[in-house]
Structure 1
Amino acid sequence: MKIIYQVAIQVFAFLIRFIAPFNHKIKLGVDGRKGLLDRMRESLPGLVAGRPVAWFHAASLGEFEQGRPVIESYRDAYPDHFILLTFFSPSGYEIRKNYNGVDFICYLPIDTPANAREFVRIVNPRIVFFIKYEFWFNYLRELRKNGSYILSFSSIFRSNQIFFKSYGGFFRKMLGYFDHLFVQNRTSIDLLEKANIGACSIAGDTRFDRVRAIASSARELPEIARFKGASQCMIAGSVWDADMQVLIPALNALTGKLKAIIAPHEIKAEEIAGWRTQLMGRSILYSEVAAGQSPDDFDYLIINNIGMLSSLYRYGNMAYIGGSFGVGLHNILEAATFGLPILFGNKSYHRFQEAVGLMEKGGAFSVADTPQLLKIVESWVENPVEARSAGDISSEFVLSGTGATDLIMQKVREAMG
């Protein structure tokens, strides 16, 4: 299996270089890794200047946001340490490459034996944090040889993962390289212990800490408040076309009774234009509002930029979160922390523990189609107290889930001495 893994990594490295000219996202990652080790070899020793190095690795943007509370708590606890942040995906690196909470940000070189050996030699991290789902054999092996203290946090394990299969011994070995794994639930602990991985404990999900921090520092957006006025308002966050095909007929049925702020997961002008033609009410783009057009007399505000969503939820009475009719449910906690009742599609949400948990408590609801969605939203519009009661459950759910960062930092202090 080790040989298969090493061959697969080499094939993967070849394929992404081959595909890069035809795929913009992949090209960003390939170009960002060109000459990276040479640049690090030249610049990093001078930047580190003998300080202890803490290395945080996130696959993409979502994992970075999950890890951010720990990064910032580490910075507060060890202000004299050097913090390195790496990303695997361009969707994380390109958006957060200017994040000022760390000292150096770069892509993670592909996990070949040579790359891992040289990267660890250059960085020489004293402590390493892998956020959620990152398990790279060559890096873990080299870090173990280097004597680095290795942590994983916000992980969640399921019985169908390869670690727990009869043929998964090689992958279980990766888990054994960690000094400690902080997981989200009891099921994960049971699976790890059954696999003879004893250095593990439940800390929960650091995203709860992150969204609480977001809520306390959310921006005031006067233009959004002006758009909403005295109306009830739905925030449709991270929506895809599959979500909008369920949402649009419901919004049309409620024209004049409910406003909506629509934040697409991906900004595609042609797709947005198509939605606007299907919506019966008047719609305006955020870029038009930012350019000075009044949003007062519009039913729908469509956000055609990135980075505002977490501050928009404070202006909602309810939220619909996208992704569950396709790739997978997006972040519901940002809406929940503002005390909104939450809706999402009934397809791809089951692997998200927070969605299942909030549904069980009555703060979130899955819908299969427009009639189900319309029935719930109409009830909330006609009876705002009902919506607020479900929203109170949402905010309490987030509050009760905070504290993971403190547990992780307690272990860090033990490890650092």
Structure 2
Amino acid sequence: MPRFIYTLLMTLVALLLPIKLLWRGLKQPEYRQHWAERYGFYAQKINAPLIWVHCVSVGETRATQPLIQALMDAYPLHQILMTHGTPTGRETGQQILRDDIANGRVLQAYLPVDTPGAAKRFLNYFNPVIGLIMETELWFHLIDQATQKQIPVALLSARLSEKSARGYAKLGTLTSDGLHQLALVAAQTEADAQRLQALGASNVMVCGNLKFDVTPPVDSFAKGLALRELLGKDRTVLMAASTREGEEPLILDAVKNSNVLLLLVPRHPQRFAEVETLLKARNLRYVLRTELAQTLNNDVQVVLGNSMGEMYAYYAASDFAVMGGSLQPLGGQNLIEAAAMGVPTILGPNMFNFAQVTREAVAANAAVQMADVSELATQIDAMARDAEKRKLMSQAAKAFTLQHRGTTQRLMTAIRGLVKT
């Protein structure tokens, strides 16, 4: 794709962006906030040289927590700028770094739409000493203008599925030039590294998956135990984690003849009302997490996890889980959080965004994967009946996460050579 075509497309995106934000804002009012930042206009107070870290949404923001803490420890005279693409990503950043945001050590903003003008305004205003982009967010004008301003940009904990690689390959020199301009590409796996190199990336290393270094908040188990008291100690609790569109009916069908208590946690908060409507339509006896104040009656079938910031507590309160995003062709969600909490997990056939982690987790007995969604009811029933199997898988899951830690330090070693102090 010629660059001028990309520029025209981004300009069209910028023109249509208000319609998208207004539409999304109907379900999630936060989309109607901070519009100026979407076009590169900011008012944050800058008191020190900035290290810029881009984490587009919730998963990337959570994964970045250990790296940001390491950056603050290593560079005490710098501020950290976290940029996001979604309100939920921004809210997650506020939850995990509340004190550092309050005292000004960490700033937050939206990354602007990738037009030349907006990219230039962003870089001129913040003038970071380095840009660290998490996973796979390639914004070609931003990378190009950072290169012109001699601001090194690194792609960290980078992952690229075969499907995404084919898509980027269709952009031709736009992709190859953009990847070549990156000062560092730290890939999660050797397969990711090879795909990125084939598309034009240089200075590529394999660093591992940063999500393994995220440690659950210290109060997670205590909160989980308190929640489990409300759910009922004698019930077997199945958590449907981070479910996406079209998956809730599949899960409800799979548990309709089961005695498990379903803790149903949609991925996106704007879908809470939609999922509650589904529960009502099926005449299911359910309780909202935000209204759960006493131990449940045994006739309650579903608890709808409609709160924010309790994911680890949800896992701690559960006996096993089904991973959302994997029952439909959506690529799956982060199974490492479940493993870190020692929760045996059933994975659907569509875990292509976490392909290697899935293979390794299954091999380690931390998770089981279905070949087809039609197996879901059978898998749930088997897991619910076998407490000994759940115990062994829980132990294996915790060991699995411990074995894969260390990515943060590998990244910090690579970053030190790029940061101008």
TM-score > 0.5 by shorter chain = yes
- What residue number does 1:330 align with? 333
Q: 1:74 to 1:247 in 2, by over 3 A?
A: same
* 2:112 alignment partner, SS class: coil
- What residue number does 2:216 align with? 214
| Conservation of the 8 A alpha-carbon contact between 1:287 and 1:304 | yes
- What residue number does 1:398 align with? 401
Q: 1:296 to 1:388 in 2, by over 3 A?
A: same
Counterpart pick for 1:136 among 139, 144, 166: 139
Counterpart pick for 1:351 among 338, 350, 353: 353
Distance 1:379 1:8 in 2: 50
Q: 1:233 to 1:248 in 2, by over 3 A?
A: same
- What residue number does 2:235 align with? 231
Distance 1:378 1:18 in 2: 45
- What residue number does 2:343 align with? 340
- What residue number does 1:190 align with? 194
User: What are the superposed Cα offsets for residues 320-342 of structure 1, whole Å, 9 maximum, x if unpaired?
Assistant: 12122333322222111122221
Please tell me the residue identity of whatever aligns with 1:184.
Q
Q: 1:224 to 1:166 in 2, by over 3 A?
A: closer
Identity, % of aligned pairs?
A: 20
- What residue number does 1:202 align with? 206
* 2:379 alignment partner, SS class: helix
Deviation at 1:28, TM superposition (A): 5.3
- Taking the TM superposition and a 5 Å limit, the aligned residue runs for 1:210-289 are 210=214, 213-214=215-216, 216-218=218-220, 220-221=222-223, 222-240=226-244, 242-255=246-259, 258-266=260-268, 267-269=271-273, 271-275=275-279, 278=282, 282-289=285-292
Please tell me the residue identity of whatever aligns with 1:48.
I
Bigger mean CA deviation after superposition, 97-106 or 386-395: 97-106
Deviation at 1:179, TM superposition (A): 1.2
Counterpart pick for 1:79 among 72, 76, 79: 76
| Conservation of the 8 A alpha-carbon contact between 2:41 and 2:121 | no
Distance 2:196 2:202 in 1: 7
| Conservation of the 8 A alpha-carbon contact between 1:180 and 1:200 | yes
* 2:264 alignment partner, SS class: strand
Distance 1:87 1:370 in 2: 33
In the alignment, structure 1 residue 48 sits paired with structure 2 residue 46: yes
| Conservation of the 8 A alpha-carbon contact between 2:182 and 2:201 | no
Distance 1:194 1:240 in 2: 32
Deviation at 1:153, TM superposition (A): 0.6
| Conservation of the 8 A alpha-carbon contact between 1:29 and 1:90 | yes
Extract unaligned runs of 5+ from structure 2.
none
| Conservation of the 8 A alpha-carbon contact between 2:53 and 2:80 | yes
| Conservation of the 8 A alpha-carbon contact between 1:337 and 1:394 | yes
| Conservation of the 8 A alpha-carbon contact between 1:349 and 1:356 | no
Question: May I ask how many residue pairs the two structures share in their alignment?
Answer: 404
* 1:242 alignment partner, SS class: coil
Counterpart pick for 2:317 among 315, 336, 344: 315
Q: 1:162 to 1:144 in 2, by over 3 A?
A: farther
Deviation at 1:252, TM superposition (A): 2.8
Deviation at 1:312, TM superposition (A): 1.4
Deviation at 1:378, TM superposition (A): 2.6
| Conservation of the 8 A alpha-carbon contact between 2:22 and 2:31 | no
Counterpart pick for 2:378 among 354, 375, 380: 375
Q: 1:22 to 1:415 in 2, by over 3 A?
A: closer
| Conservation of the 8 A alpha-carbon contact between 2:339 and 2:394 | yes
In the alignment, structure 1 residue 7 sits paired with structure 2 residue 8: yes
| Conservation of the 8 A alpha-carbon contact between 1:215 and 1:337 | no
Distance 1:95 1:142 in 2: 29
Length-normalised TM-score, structure 1: 0.86
Q: 1:277 to 1:136 in 2, by over 3 A?
A: closer
Q: 1:3 to 1:331 in 2, by over 3 A?
A: same
Deviation at 1:20, TM superposition (A): 4.1
Distance 1:38 1:242 in 2: 36
* 1:328 alignment partner, SS class: coil
Q: 1:196 to 1:320 in 2, by over 3 A?
A: closer
Bigger mean CA deviation after superposition, 334-343 or 240-249: 240-249
Extract unaligned runs of 5+ from structure 1.
none
Deviation at 1:175, TM superposition (A): 0.9
* 1:268 alignment partner, SS class: helix
- What residue number does 1:409 align with? 412
Q: 1:126 to 1:381 in 2, by over 3 A?
A: same
Bigger mean CA deviation after superposition, 350-359 or 2-11: 350-359
Q: Give the alignment's Cα RMSD to 1 decimal.
A: 2.9
Please tell me the residue identity of whatever aligns with 2:323.
I
Q: 1:172 to 1:263 in 2, by over 3 A?
A: same
Deviation at 1:55, TM superposition (A): 0.7
Distance 2:37 2:254 in 1: 52
Deviation at 1:217, TM superposition (A): 4.4
Distance 2:256 2:312 in 1: 25
Distance 2:37 2:133 in 1: 24
Counterpart pick for 2:173 among 165, 169, 174: 169
- What residue number does 1:112 align with? 115
* 2:240 alignment partner, SS class: strand
- What residue number does 1:301 align with? 303
